[in-house]
Amino acid sequence: MNFQELMSRYKLVKVMKAMEAAGLNHGTAGNASVRCAEHFLVTPSGVPPLKLKPSMIVKLDIKGHSKSRYKPTSEWKMHVDLLAQRPDMNAVVHCHSRFATTLACAGLEVPSLHYMTAVSGGLNIPLAPYATYGTAELAQSIAKTLQQGRRACLMANHGQIAMGTSLEEAFIISSEVEVQASYYYGTLVIGKTVCLSEQQMHDVVVKFKSYGQNGSKPPS
């Protein structure tokens, strides 16, 4: 095991604990992955963050083959397919955060009610069609929804998923998706949602490209 792989294992443990601490996840829900050269590192199945150790992280190839004694997350195919499809992305986080999951269970996407909705890489935060967890159908549904530069979406009757160039970035995007979902939920409770226009959102997407120190990260 080289140093890069070892650090990636520690970062996966760290991000799973961070998601639980932030209230994005609970128990054994959710999972995460990161690209590791020609392989993929994914979190194990059914291990709560407090018990998760770097040695439990599972290393997979493109077909899901592994020499680990631990079973990979049941969603491993979704992670591998996404990272294989998107060479511009290096990490994926999936969680069952409260507001995003509530909207997903109501069959709702998040519209352009706030400029930070563009954190998803588009003008809204779309909703991927439902499929049973751990299936090839779900992996295909998510991969299709997260095309053309998209970085996040809601998963119908399931939760949310986000991608980033790093685990840290994927976590930040996932956190912002939950914030935007909470805003939309709030406007639905009030009974009035005022959305930004398509042109206003396009302007934001353009500005995001030059934001921050390296000109690629969304504002935080």
Q: Identify which of 100, 118, 98 has the alpha carbon closest to the alpha carbon of residue 109.
A: 100
Residue 36 has pLDDT above 60, yes or no: yes
User: Which residue of the set 75, 169, 176, 178 is catalytic?
Assistant: 75
Determine the pLDDT at residue 97.
98
Question: In sequence order, what are the residues at sequence separation of 6 or more whose Cβ sits closer than 8 angstroms to the Cβ of residue 4?
Answer: 36, 37
Q: Which residue has the higher pLDDT, 208 or 86?
A: 86
The number of C-alpha atoms within 13 Å of 171 and in the hemisphere containing its C-beta is 21
Pairing verdict, β 31-36 and 91-95? antiparallel
Determine the pLDDT at residue 217.
52
Determine the pLDDT at residue 214.
52
Residue 12 has pLDDT above 50, yes or no: yes
pTM: 0.92
Pairing verdict, β 31-36 and 152-155? unpaired
Q: Which residue has the higher pLDDT, 215 or 17?
A: 17
The tens digit of pLDDT for each residue in 129-157 reads 999 999 999 999 999 999 888 999 999 99
3-state secondary structure of 42: strand
The tens digit of pLDDT for each residue in 45-60 reads 999 999 999 999 999 9
Determine the pLDDT at residue 208.
79
Q: How confident is the model at residue 216 (pLDDT cuts 50, 70, 90)?
A: very low
> What is the rounded distance in angstroms from the CA atom of residue 204 to the CA atom of residue 50?
38
The tens digit of pLDDT for each residue in 154-184 reads 999 999 999 999 999 999 999 999 999 999 9
Give the sign of the dihedral formed by CA 55, CA 60, CA 64, CA 65.
negative
Is the domain spanning 3-208 CATH 3.40.50.720? The answer is no
Instruction: Give residue for tokens 């519209």.
Output: 111
> What is the rounded distance in angstroms from the CA atom of residue 37 to the CA atom of residue 107?
37
Burial of 135 (0-12, 13-18, 19+ CB in 10 A): middle
Residue 192 has pLDDT above 60, yes or no: yes
Query: Please, what is the angle between helix 3-21 and helix 167-190, to 10°?
Result: 20
The tens digit of pLDDT for each residue in 77-131 reads 999 999 999 999 999 999 999 999 999 999 999 999 999 999 999 999 999 999 9
Pairing verdict, β 159-164 and 91-95? antiparallel
Q: Is 75 a catalytic residue?
A: yes
> What is the rounded distance in angstroms from the CA atom of residue 66 to the CA atom of residue 41?
10
Determine the pLDDT at residue 197.
96
Mean pLDDT, residues 68-73: 96
Listed as own residue / partner, the contacts of 46-49 with beta carbons closer than 8 Å and 24 or more positions apart are 46/71, 49/13, 49/16, 49/17, 49/19, 49/20, 49/25
